[in-house]
């Protein structure tokens, strides 16, 4: 169990709503659907209503300072079955990188690889008290694009399992390109923070508002203020 999963949830009952494709750029085709992730009739481009409204505030703030830029949605709502599919996919990709000639791992090798995977991927818990953040409809993976919808470079791709994914990885560098990556990450972070989002401590692209991770981060910043999550597992509401 991760520390944020101890946060209590009192779901506010807000619906999942579609993210307007006319307002935000989207990665198309969706990367997990292309892999065959089991969404069924559900869409990865849904968010809770209050989260979508906050995302619009974040984009407004971004465009006050960078009028030609937009948010690009990589992923949003993720059913628990999709979370399980992607954890397995990430594990297999990492296994192929580390042990390309080895199909049967030792128990120690398996545990070490899974520990790396779960730094970036939440457990696909079916327990409604410990939902994966994306399964609440309150978490989003996001980047930036320019006026021609070309990606703004962030220094590493979304979902990369490496130290480069950490938000401040490029902060200490004196290399001009690395500093540019750090600046872009900070621009994204500032826009999202203005709207109330919290950033995942280990992923420059992952932001949430109202879920357990968000509440836990709020608690770390303000330890004397009690906080609960207002969004639980969204498929319970469907």
Q: Which long-range contacts (CB under 8 A, 24 or more apart) does 197-203 make?
A: 197/54, 197/58, 199/167, 200/167, 201/166, 201/167, 202/119, 202/120, 202/165, 202/166, 202/167, 203/120, 203/141, 203/165, 203/166, 203/167
Neighbouring C-beta atoms of residue 26, cutoff 10 Å:
19
Cis peptide, bond prior to residue 29, ω within 30 of zero: yes
| Residue (of 173, 235, 199) closest to 15 by Cα position | 235
Angle between the 49-65 and 176-194 helix axes, to the nearest 10 degrees? 130
The catalytic residue among 14, 92, 116, 203 is 203
Neighbouring C-beta atoms of residue 60, cutoff 10 Å:
12
Active site residue 92: no
Q: So which residues are the catalytic ones? A: 203
């Amino acid at each position: 169990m991760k520390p944020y999963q101890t946060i209590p949830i009192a779901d506010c009952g807000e619906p999942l709503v579609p993210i307007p494709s006319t307002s935000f750029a989207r990665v198309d085709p969706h990367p997990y659907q292309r892999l065959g992730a089991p969404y069924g009739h559900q869409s990865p481009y849904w968010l809770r209503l209050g989260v979508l409204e906050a995302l619009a505030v974040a984009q407004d703030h971004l465009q006050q300072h960078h009028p030609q830029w937009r948010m690009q949605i990589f992923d949003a709502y993720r059913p628990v079955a999709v979370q399980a599919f992607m954890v397995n996919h990430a594990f297999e990709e990492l296994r192929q990188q580390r042990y390309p000639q080895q199909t049967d791992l030792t128990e120690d090798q398996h545990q070490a690889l899974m520990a790396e995977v779960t730094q970036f991927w939440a457990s696909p818990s079916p327990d409604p008290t410990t939902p994966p953040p994306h399964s609440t409809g309150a978490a989003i993976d996001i980047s930036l694009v320019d006026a021609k919808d070309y990606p703004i470079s962030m220094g590493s791709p979304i979902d990369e399992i490496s130290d480069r994914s950490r938000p401040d990885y490029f902060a200490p560098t004196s290399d001009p390109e690395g500093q540019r990556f750090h600046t872009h990450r900070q621009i994204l972070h500032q826009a999202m923070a203005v709207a109330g989002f919290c950033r995942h401590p280990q992923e420059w692209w992952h932001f949430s508002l109202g879920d357990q991770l968000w509440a836990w981060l709020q608690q770390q910043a303000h330890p004397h203020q009690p906080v609960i999550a207002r969004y639980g597992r969204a498929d319970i509401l469907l």
